[in-house]
């Protein structure tokens, strides 16, 4: 489970007992494999482990500056997904 769709690996933590990965290598025993995977992913995409969400400055941005909207979202996706065929139904999609 040294892939970005593993939620533990994507935030650079080890998998724990709650993780449902099979044949997991995201643990201290396989640290060299884990570091190789991290380096490989970062060489292809330097922002791969960055957060996928951004905080909006104020809820006023959503209302066009005319006032606050009660219960307005203050977090949004930075880029959004690029799913074409899977219709956002895979774990690696940000929308899943």
Q: Is the pLDDT of residue 57 over 70?
A: no
30 pLDDT band, cuts 50/70/90, is very high
Would you state the pLDDT for residue 23?
Answer: 83
Quote the number of domains for the chain: 2
d(CA 11, CA 44): 17
| Residue 77, pLDDT above cutoff 70 | no
Taking the C-alpha atoms of residue 6 and residue 29, their distance in angstroms, rounded to an integer, is 18
- Domain match, 59 and 80 both: yes
Q: Kindly state the average pLDDT of the residues 70-95.
A: 66
44-to-13, 40, 90 alpha-carbon distances in Å = 20, 7, 21
Residue at a domain's end among 17, 34, 50? 50
Q: Are residues 38 and 3 in the same domain?
A: yes
Structural domain range at position 66: 52-96
pLDDT at 14: 93
pTM for the whole structure = 0.60
Check residue 91 and give its pLDDT: 67
CA distances from 81 to 7, 12, 35, 48, 59 (A): 16, 21, 26, 13, 23
């Amino acid at each position: 489970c040294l892939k970005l769709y593993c939620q533990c690996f994507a935030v650079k933590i080890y998998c724990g007992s709650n993780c449902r990965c099979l044949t997991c290598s995201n643990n201290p025993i396989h640290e060299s494999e884990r570091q190789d995977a991290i380096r490989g992913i970062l060489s292809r995409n330097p922002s791969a482990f960055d957060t996928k969400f951004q905080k909006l400055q104020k809820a006023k941005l959503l209302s066009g500056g005319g006032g606050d909207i009660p219960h307005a979202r203050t977090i949004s996706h930075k880029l959004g997904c690029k799913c074409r065929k899977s219709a956002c139904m895979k774990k690696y999609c940000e929308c899943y």
